[in-house]
Chains A and B, each alone.
Chain A
């Protein structure tokens, strides 16, 4: 048996390529939408956790800890298969985006918090002494500094979100992985799976390298 013939069958790959592309497009859409929604949710959660009244702070904290603990696959299956029992029926895309966003938001909130807490107290005091309100202090003074610091961990989180989109194939969303498994079944050959892996790598490996570079640059700034 020829290894190439089996795993890198170009004929099969070429035939399945349009399917893979369609899957990739959906994967990217799901990834981007979940990342963006997760950023918004994460910033909101972070503000609630740091600057709201005590009961809200506690609830926010519980949310963050719960959604960082729950396996994404479990959450996804609950959203897709359990919510219909209470009358909430979401499409595969909406289910996947909901689950990804809820989890990504929890991680993002913690990332933002670390970024804010890393800003010296003197920055808050200088802003307060100038008469800036809380919102202005955040928008003009604190967050612009935090964001620089949190770009590497946020990019890391985004990589995780894109990787986790593959879980959406279990709720029958025709993403890259799902298309690849279908193409594999059609062709009775695993090459489409290898193709999908290569596509994931092509998108994510550069991001991984970018994070390392950013982290090195930030650390150099510190020294």
Chain B
């Protein structure tokens, strides 16, 4: 039986013959903020991309979001409307202004009126501190600003779940803070967040739970206090040594 708001059972993912996810079981509660950490190639991106089925996964596996199975077909649009995603490379639509980027999905998927979508976009821009940038095109913004627009765009669908795939990894160091600040605020709002990140400080302060992945498996899952001070698994300890020792 499912217990979590996001329920992942025996998630298997193959890229050709390569076994990228080796039977992940994970329950995430409504409103929980989960940070996923682990070495490069451990399957972190693959895991969260399966949650909204940007990646197909093995038929024996099951993912449910709010009780809805994440399967191809009519349900998938429903799941995707509830699950927002923020990418490492922003992926803003370059031919649309910042405001239009945010308005597009509400208008097309929810059928929101133009006026309502515009008002909502401006509200969201204010929330991420970019109210003066609505008319600009993405190419006119800094990386940090673009990522904040991408967050606003995801929020426009009023998602119950937000997935982040290394949202600050493509940013210049001086811009990481502004994006993490927005995410910190979001974490207070009760939205369920799954954040793949290398920002251990953020995980320590904001996460309800930290998950360590290696070799396509979840090795350890614990609240940050425990995770960072008393990791149980050797592999976790080695990883933390490597990333925290500089």
Q: When the two chains form their complex, are residues A144 and B95 in contact, meaning their CB atoms are under 8 A apart?
A: yes
CB proximity of B235 to chain A, nearest CB, Å: 30
Q: Which one of A89-97, A131-139, A174-182, A186-194 is at the B interface?
A: A131-139
Q: When the two chains form their complex, are residues B77 and A131 in contact, meaning their CB atoms are under 8 A apart?
A: yes
A5 at interface (Cβ–Cβ under 8 A)? no
Q: When the two chains form their complex, are residues A132 and B105 in contact, meaning their CB atoms are under 8 A apart?
A: yes
Q: A136 to B85, alpha carbons, bound, how many Å?
A: 18
Q: When the two chains form their complex, are residues A130 and B95 in contact, meaning their CB atoms are under 8 A apart?
A: no
Q: Which one of B86-94, B181-189, B211-219 is at the A interface?
A: B86-94
Q: A120 to B90, alpha carbons, bound, how many Å?
A: 12
Q: When the two chains form their complex, are residues A128 and B91 in contact, meaning their CB atoms are under 8 A apart?
A: no
Q: When the two chains form their complex, are residues B93 and A141 in contact, meaning their CB atoms are under 8 A apart?
A: yes
Q: A126 to B54, alpha carbons, bound, how many Å?
A: 10
B108 at interface (Cβ–Cβ under 8 A)? yes
Q: A130 to B105, alpha carbons, bound, how many Å?
A: 6
A122 at interface (Cβ–Cβ under 8 A)? yes
The A-contacting residues of B in range 82-110, CB under 8 angstroms, are 83-85, 87, 89, 91-95, 104-105, 108-109
- How big is the B interface, by class? 20 to 34
Q: A122-B87, A122-B89, A140-B108 are in contact. Are A129 and B94 (CB under 8 A)?
A: no
Q: A129-B52, A130-B80 are in contact. Are A145 and B85 (CB under 8 A)?
A: no
Q: A141 — nearest CB in chain B belongs to which residue?
A: B93
Q: A125-B54, A125-B87, A140-B104 are in contact. Are A131 and B80 (CB under 8 A)?
A: yes
Residues of B within 8 A of A123 (CB): 91, 93
Q: A122-B87, A128-B80 are in contact. Are A145 and B95 (CB under 8 A)?
A: yes
Residues of B within 8 A of A122 (CB): 87, 89, 91
Q: A127 to B150, alpha carbons, bound, how many Å?
A: 12
Q: When the two chains form their complex, are residues B109 and A129 in contact, meaning their CB atoms are under 8 A apart?
A: no
A148 at interface (Cβ–Cβ under 8 A)? yes
Q: A126 — nearest CB in chain B belongs to which residue?
A: B91
B117 at interface (Cβ–Cβ under 8 A)? no
Residues of A within 8 A of B85 (CB): 125-126, 129
Q: A141 to B138, alpha carbons, bound, how many Å?
A: 14
Residues of A within 8 A of B154 (CB): 129-130
Q: When the two chains form their complex, are residues A131 and B109 in contact, meaning their CB atoms are under 8 A apart?
A: yes
Q: B156 — nearest CB in chain A belongs to which residue?
A: A130
Q: A122 to B87, alpha carbons, bound, how many Å?
A: 8
CB proximity of A133 to chain B, nearest CB, Å: 7
Residues of A within 8 A of B84 (CB): 129-130
Residues of A within 8 A of B108 (CB): 132, 136, 140
Q: When the two chains form their complex, are residues B91 and A130 in contact, meaning their CB atoms are under 8 A apart?
A: no
Q: A125 to B85, alpha carbons, bound, how many Å?
A: 9
CB proximity of A110 to chain B, nearest CB, Å: 22
Q: When the two chains form their complex, are residues B104 and A131 in contact, meaning their CB atoms are under 8 A apart?
A: no
B36 at interface (Cβ–Cβ under 8 A)? no
Q: A126 to B154, alpha carbons, bound, how many Å?
A: 9
CB proximity of A124 to chain B, nearest CB, Å: 9
Q: A122-B87, A125-B87, A148-B95 are in contact. Are A130 and B153 (CB under 8 A)?
A: yes
Q: When the two chains form their complex, are residues A130 and B54 in contact, meaning their CB atoms are under 8 A apart?
A: no
Q: Which residues of A contact B (CB under 8 A)?
A: 120, 122-123, 125-133, 136, 140-141, 144-145, 148
Q: Which residues of B contact A (CB under 8 A)?
A: 52, 54, 77, 80-81, 83-85, 87, 89, 91-95, 104-105, 108-109, 150, 153-154, 157
* 9 A-B pairs closest in CB distance: A126-B91, A122-B91, A130-B105, A129-B85, A131-B81, A131-B80, A131-B109, A136-B108, A144-B95
Interchain Cβ contacts under 8 Å between A and B, 12 examples: A120-B91, A122-B91, A123-B93, A125-B85, A127-B93, A128-B52, A129-B85, A130-B154, A130-B157, A131-B80, A133-B77, A141-B104
Given A122-B91, A130-B104, A148-B95, list of 16 further CB < 8 A pairs? A122-B89, A125-B85, A125-B87, A126-B91, A126-B93, A129-B84, A129-B154, A130-B105, A130-B109, A130-B153, A132-B109, A133-B77, A136-B108, A140-B108, A144-B95, A145-B95
